[in-house]
Structure 1
Amino acid sequence: MCSRNLQKRSISNQTFKELLASLMDEVDGEVLIEMAVVVWRLWKRRNEWIFQEIFTNPTSILKQVNQKLQELKVLYNNPSNTSERQEGREGIVEFWKPPPNNFYKINWDAAVDHKKCRVGVGVIVRNWEGQVMGTMRTNNSLFPDPHLAEAYGALQAVSLGTELGLRKIILEGDALNVVKEINGELEN
């Protein structure tokens, strides 16, 4: 029974991968961006509902998607905005900068689910041209401490870089205290 379920799941994953590959080959880049923003916002809405019990009206979702698409168009039309920071509705937003030539940048972020005592981590590896070289996500039953979650995320980032055989890397996370600890600026 269990092996059948796994087999069905892998078939559906393969079908999804084929559909995604077909979309990327046949659909205009602008449409792909729109689809990505819609899917991102729907996923965020799902997480808000599950983890925070916040319900967002579908009309509000559409407005947020349109706002994000407008912001992306402004960024695309004015590349100088992406080099540092941009003042947005939600405060200052940092934008990703590529690493120097022949280096890889590994970004990570962590999330905490206090109710279920779980920590989730996402990691992305990009080269000096901004191309994605690898990604991973994981979740684990850990004490739901944000500092611990970010430290665990940094460990996962390093592990992925090692697994990929990368030597020249720059680690980048948004938890200043963890970054300072990694750089040896804080005693712990």
Structure 2
Amino acid sequence: MSWILNQNSENIGRWLTGVFGQGNDEQLRFLCCGLWFIWFSRNQLVYEKRQMSGTEIARKIRNYISELEATKRGKLTLHSSESFQQVLKRGRATVHFDAAFDRQTSRSASGLIVWNGEGEILVSQAVHHSNIEDPFTAEAYARLQAIKLGISLGINKIEVMGDSKMVIKKCQSSIIDRSVIGAIIRDIQNRKSSYQEIEFSFIPKARNIYAHTIATEALKRGESFYLEKGVPEMVRHALERLRLNPPD
């Protein structure tokens, strides 16, 4: 990709226009991820006094690209009935989210469960993430997945609930977030306009047990899933071991 460095324009706009005019999809994907992680490393240095090596940045880029490709291959298309979509659009839905984090592998899983106003499950989902720095980042990604899930379902009015007070406060704030998870928070803020109404709320961990169990079991088994109107058997069995009634 040395041709990228041969763009001689000193104007960043013309430089990017030239690069995007010459590159193919794969090259531009690497370029965008590279710029993103370089900016991420800059923020870590400025705000946390942590410096990433070029080798570490390259590894993070490769891991993230691999995750994108895996997501593309395993992506499930939503084929909901018209009546199911009408249920979503009529009233308010609630999404509970939580994250499970493995420090040894730097991987996490987002656990999501969507309820309608009558307390019925609309969707449960588990999403895996790699190259995660800490539990705080894992929670932020889980929040983002909750927002994206609501958009994909066509929900108009949503309440997003989790047990991470710090992440919730950042989502509620209009101040630009300059922490390590600032890019994730901005992504969440940018997607809020997709909803007619959206509310971020805190829920104690004891009342967030379903999303927590989904995330924990998904990370333990290395499995992602998307299921309408219920939860997988592995989650049901885990809840029964905790002597809790699985949700209907």
TM-score by length of 2: 0.36
Greater share of strand residues, 1 or 2?
A: 1
